[in-house]
Chains A and B, each alone.
Chain A
C-alpha cells in the first residue's frame, strides 16, 4: 500500500514537473515492462535529461495520449470557446508628441488605477487626479480613448468593463487640447 502511494506520488511529481509539450506524451506512454516501474523509470529518465529543473515553475499537467477518452471533435468544440476567452484586448496607445505608438492588453488590468499607472510608467509622465466634474486635474495630460462610435472620450467616466469593450484606441492628450476635454484650468 505504501509502495503504491509512493509510486502515485512519483506519478504526480512526474506530471507537475514536465512542461506541457508533445514530446512528454511519448515519455509517459513509452512501453516498459511493468506499468508502475515504467512511471518511476520515466521519472529517472527525466531527471537525467534535466527536464525537471527546480527553478522552473510548476508546469501544466502533461497530457497522456488519448486520455481522458474524449473524442477530438468534442475537444475542438470546447477549445475554440477557451481561446476566445483567453485572447487579450489589445489597443494602440498614442501620446501627443511621441514618435511612435505602443500597444497594451486591457485585460491584464483590473481597473482604471492600474491602467493609468501603467500608462504613466510607459510614457514617463504623470496624470492628474480624476474627478467626474473636472476630469483630470493637476497635470497637462489627459487620457482619452476612441470608442465604438468613433468619438473621443475621457478615460474614467464609464464602468471599467464597459470601457474595456468599447475602447478602440487610447490617446494621451497634452496641452490645450487636453484642457478642452474637461480638466479644470
Chain B
C-alpha cells in the first residue's frame, strides 16, 4: 500500500468533477425517473393505467416535456435502460430532450438485490459482470452519471457486519468501474425506514454504514470529488411511536454525514424513501437550515416525492398531460428552494412548532 498506480488521469478527474458539480449546482437536484418495469407496474396500477411500454413512454414524456423552469432546479435525471432509448411523440430522443435543457443524463446500472446466505434476510446487489462495457456504451449514448442502489435494513440483529461490508465493497467496485468510463457514480447505500426503531438507532446505523462505504471507496482508489452520495435521511422507523420534528431529523442527518462523509464529496442527494412529497421537501429544507457546518451540497434525488402529484393528475389521459407536467414542475421548484434552505412550507406548521423540539448537537 505504498505506491500509487493512478486510476485516473488529471483530465479524467476534471471531467468527472465537472459533471458532479453540474448535477448539484446550487438550487439543483435530481429527478429519479429510473423505476424498473416491475416498479412502474405498481405506480401505474395505483392510477388504473396498464403497464405497457407505450404508457411508460407517455408517462416519462409528461415529465420530460417540462419547460425551461426546470433548468434551474433539476441538475440530473436518472433513466432506466428502456427509457434511454425511447423518444417523444415528435421523434426526439428523451436523452436529447433532457440534454437540451442543460440537464445531465444518468442511468441505473445495478441489477437488483440478491440474498446473502446465512443472514437474516439480508441482501447484496448484483450487476458487476460486464459493467465496464455497459458503462462505455451508456457514455456513448449520452449518459454522464450512474446510480447503484444497495439496501440494508434495521432489525434486532441487522444490518450484520457482513451485509455492511459486502454492500460497501460492491458499491466501491461499481464506483471504480464507472469512473474508468467517464461516468460519475452515485453511491446509494439505502437503510430502509421499515421498523419501529427510533431516530437515534437510525443515526447510529447510518454512521456505521457510511463509515464502511467511505473506507471501501478509499480502498478501491475511487476519486471522491467525482462521486455523489445518495443516502437515506436519518429518520425513525415507519412504525416508531415517537414523532420527531424536521429540525431533529435535520440535526441527526447532518451530524451523521459530518462524522462520515469526507468534505471532498461534492454533493449528497437524498432519497425520499417513502416520505410524502411535502415531508421530503420540508425535511430537505430543514437540513439546509441546520446550524452545523455543511461542506457538501445537500439536495434531492427524488422519485416518488417528485412524481406523486404528477402521476395522479395524469391518470393515463393525454388531455391531462399538461396539468400533470405542471404538477411536476411545481414540486421540482419547491425542492430547488428546499435545497437552498428557502422553502417556507405549504402552509401552517413549519417554523415555530419545529423550533421547540430542537436539541443541542452534542446530544447526538
B is bound to A: no
Residues of A within 8 A of B (CB): none
